[in-house]
Amino acid sequence: MDDLVQAMATTEFWIELAFVIVFGGGCFACYRAATKAERAGNKRRATILGIASIAILIIGFVIESHFGIFDGDGD
pLDDT digits 0-9 by tens, 19-74: 999 999 999 999 999 999 999 999 999 999 999 999 999 999 999 999 888 886 65
- Assess contact for 62 and 43: CB atoms under 8 A: no
Q: Looking at per-residue confidence, does 28 or 75 come out higher?
A: 28
Query: CA nearest 54: which of 27, 36, 29?
Result: 27
Higher pLDDT residue, 21 or 3?
21
- What pLDDT, on the 0 to 100 scale, is given for residue 74? 55
Q: Residue 73: what pLDDT?
A: 62
